[in-house]
Structure 1
Amino acid sequence: MDSMAVRDRVSEYRKRMREHGFRPIQVWVPDVRADGFDAEAHRQAAAAAAADRQSDDQEFIEAVSAPWDEE
């Protein structure tokens, strides 16, 4: 059994990934455990669901846009 330390395994993994053309990035995501997360998620979901009923924005975009194949 190989008893390679975690940091060595991670280092080797990162080396292999770089060799395959990948690079590491750090991503920050919302903390779903935070106070108020549920309420904010609900607010945003409701706003997205109602967006097509509250605005003429899409009609405006379609009116001033040319089809891609006609440019």
Structure 2
Amino acid sequence: MVRNFALVIGINHYEHIPKNKHLKCAVRDAEAMRDFLLEVGFLKENILLCTEDLIEEQTGDLIQEKIVIS
């Protein structure tokens, strides 16, 4: 049995790019790709959708862990 996995990344805003040059649809496109993958049979648990919200949340969690450990 074949198991498929997907990492789908959508980031609209980058620190090193001026705000007027930020992307507008990357997150929406990534969400659409995730939805498509679900439609064609990927299991939800085998798709990791990374957006800036998730990345910021995960980064914040890592920082909190380091503070508690230190």
- TM surpasses 0.5: no
TM-score, normalising length: structure 2: 0.29
Task: Give the number of the structure whose residues are more often helix, by fraction.
Answer: 1
Question: Using CA pairs below 8 Å that are at least 6 residues apart, which structure has the higher relative contact order?
Answer: 2
Which is higher, the Rg of structure 1 or of structure 2?
Answer: 1
